[in-house]
Amino acid sequence: MSTPTLVAGIDSSTQSCKVVVRDAGTGALVRFGQAPHPDGTEVDPAAWWDALQVAIGTAGGLDDVAAVSVGGQQHGMVALDADGRVIRPALLWNDTRSAQAAADLVVELGEGDTEAGRRAWAAAIGSVPVASFTVTKLRWLAEHEPENAARVAAVALPHDWLTWKLSGSQDLADLVTDRSDASGTGYFDPTANTYRRDLLTRALGRDGDIVLPRVLGPAERAGTVQGLATVLGPGAGDNAGAALGVGMRAGDVTFSLGTSGVVSAVANGPVNDPTGLVTGFADATGRFLPMATTLNASRVLDATAALLGVDHSGLSELALAAEPGAGGLVHVPYLDGERTPNLPTATGSLHGMTRSSMTRENLARAAVEGMLCGLAAGMQAVQEQGVKVRRVRIIGGAARSAAVRQVAPAVLGLPVEVPQVSEYVADGACRQAAWVLDGGAEAPSWETGSSQTYEAEPAPAVLERYLEVAGRVAAEHTD
């Protein structure tokens, strides 16, 4: 029997680094490794590199792997000096300190008119920047750390930087990225497929000498891993990686429940939503990936489980023992501020507390419902951009929760599919690596694993009540 050609995919996500090794021909899983990332919203990229080394080691190394691609958390600002050194810890997608910078950039582009600014940004880059976007972090740097801003010679994203590190190059000119991740910077137009250097200059206050990673095509080679023959793929933002991993087609909507909660859909044409609820990012195949992203998903369940002194299965049992609507308890889970809706200074709140509603079961249920309602609202926003929903699938760490699987169809009023547990971002990166080797017009098709469909009696009152309470919370946090 001949030895299979192996490919590897990396997901350098918020909480950990995962490495998946698969058979390039069939997609069968061969090896896996994972290592944790430090907590916090600013992280020294060296910690990602260290975690990647551990995860690669656990996954049996890359020596026998023909190609590898890196998927990674989007938007994080990796600022490099002229010698290729990291200037300061990277500000992550969930760091909200640049919220004022985002508001300023919007109003400036609108020449003093916020609504005009939103329209102008949506037309320029397909999205209205909020604190998550790299462009706002650069403005924050220019305002708060001018000595660091003056040293910036190149700006990369987490996946770009890891790809570069794997190549062993220290030359800024060798930095590469892909269209999906570039589209989350705030200075890339995914329709024209060009950087908007004017917007970068507007943010950083410096002229066009900053090196930006070259944007590779969906299956273009980025070189090889240092010291090995392993080909490097272009990589992708994690959500575009997941879309490739789960095999999303038009009409498929995916809920990714990791640290972030993401509702995404594949579209053939661009989306330019001036409300900012939907970001018009690119996917990893040459299409588009409209998304609505919250700052609060799996960690809402983590925090509630810790509060109740249970593990994830205990939290599920409690939540499923409560009635839909949690006895009137509504959890608006803005525990880390919020991005969609854009309420960076908001905090979480519990409404409807009475002596009868304040049970452990209702607290657990309200956390699950609150997290899902935030995403249901995101799905409505995506639909308002003309996306037709054929099916909804749930992936990511919190998709393992029995309560999430069973409550989601009730909250959404739709059946939901849960693909078999897998690391879909790393799987998508693997599939991209196989595509790079194969060089075909489309990514190679792999046998998809089984999935389970969950149905429930629709409970529209849960979302209605959540939206009413969330509207009041938003009003408290809006000037």
Ligand X SMILES: O=C(CO)[C@@H](O)[C@H](O)COP(=O)(O)O
16 binds, among ligand ADP, ligand X, none (CB under 5 to 8 A by kind): ligand ADP
Residue 170 annotated as part of some ligand binding site: no
Among the residue ranges 57-65, 228-236, 393-401, 442-450, the one whose residues contact ligand ADP (CB under 6 A):
393-401
Find the binder of ligand ADP among 5, 16, 224, 347 (CB under 6 A).
16
312 binds, among ligand X, ligand ADP, none (CB under 5 to 8 A by kind): ligand ADP
**Chain centre distance of CA 414:** 24
- Give yes or no for residue 15 binding ligand ADP (CB under 6 A): yes
- Give yes or no for residue 41 binding ligand ADP (CB under 6 A): no
Both tokens of residue 248? 């999303």
Alpha helices for 192-297 (secondary structure H): 197-204, 238-246
Nearer to ligand X, 6 or 379 (CB): 379
Nearest to 239 by CA among 222, 256, 259: 256
Nearer to ligand X, 39 or 209 (CB): 39
Asked if residues 271 and 278 have their Cβ atoms less than 8 Å apart, the reply is yes
- Give yes or no for residue 312 binding ligand ADP (CB under 6 A): yes
Nearest to 76 by CA among 148, 227, 177: 177
Fill in the DSSP letter of residue 247: T
- Give yes or no for residue 132 binding ligand X (CB under 6 A): yes
Residues between 418 and 477 that touch ligand ADP (CB under 6 A) = none
Pairing of strands 42-43, 231-232: unpaired
Least separation in angstroms between CB 13 and ligand ADP: 3
Map residue 76 onto helix, strand or coil. coil
- Give yes or no for residue 370 binding ligand ADP (CB under 6 A): no
Find the binder of ligand X among 19, 262, 301, 322 (CB under 6 A).
262
Sign of the dihedral defined by the CA atoms of residues 81, 84, 85, 87, in that order: positive
Among the residue ranges 82-90, 210-218, 392-400, 405-413, the one whose residues contact ligand ADP (CB under 6 A):
392-400
Taking every pair of Cα atoms in the chain, the longest distance, rounded to a whole number of angstroms, is 68
**Chain centre distance of CA 213:** 20
- Give yes or no for residue 119 binding ligand ADP (CB under 6 A): no
Find the binder of ligand ADP among 9, 184, 397, 428 (CB under 6 A).
397
- Give yes or no for residue 401 binding ligand ADP (CB under 6 A): yes
C-alpha–C-alpha distance, residues 321 and 330, integer Å? 16
> By beta-carbon distance, which residue lies closest to ligand X?
258
Among the residue ranges 99-107, 297-305, 366-374, 444-452, the one whose residues contact ligand ADP (CB under 6 A):
297-305
Among the residue ranges 1-9, 255-263, 434-442, 463-471, the one whose residues contact ligand X (CB under 6 A):
255-263
Among the residue ranges 12-20, 130-138, 273-281, 323-331, the one whose residues contact ligand ADP (CB under 6 A):
12-20
- Mask of contacts with ligand X, 84-113, x by CB under 6 A? ---------x--------------------
C-alpha–C-alpha distance, residues 128 and 116, integer Å? 11
Catalytic annotation, residues? 238
Phi, psi for 408 (deg, rounded to 5): -55, -50
Q: SS3 for 162-217, per residue?
A: HHHHHHCCCCHHHCEEEHHHHCCCCCEECCCCEECHHHHHHHHCCCCCCECCEEEC
Find the binder of ligand X among 6, 8, 13, 120 (CB under 6 A).
13
Asked if residues 20 and 423 have their Cβ atoms less than 8 Å apart, the reply is yes
Phi, psi for 419 (deg, rounded to 5): -60, 155
- Mask of contacts with ligand X, 162-201, x by CB under 6 A? ----------------------x-----------------
Is residue 476 classed exposed, middle or buried when 0-12, 13-18 and 19+ CB atoms within 10 A define those classes?
exposed
- Give yes or no for residue 92 binding ligand ADP (CB under 6 A): no
Q: How many CA atoms lie within 13 A of 432 on its CB side?
A: 40
Pairing of strands 391-395, 416-419: parallel
Both tokens of residue 420? 């078999």
Least separation in angstroms between CB 72 and ligand X: 8
Task: List C-alpha distances in Å: 165 to 39, 91, 174, 280, 366.
Answer: 22, 19, 10, 29, 43
Residues that bind ligand X (CB under 6 A): 13-14, 73-75, 93, 132, 184, 238-239, 256, 258-260, 262, 293
Residues that bind ligand ADP (CB under 6 A): 13-16, 258-259, 298-299, 301-302, 312, 396-398, 400-401
| Residues in binding site | 74-75
| Residues in binding site for substrate | 74-75
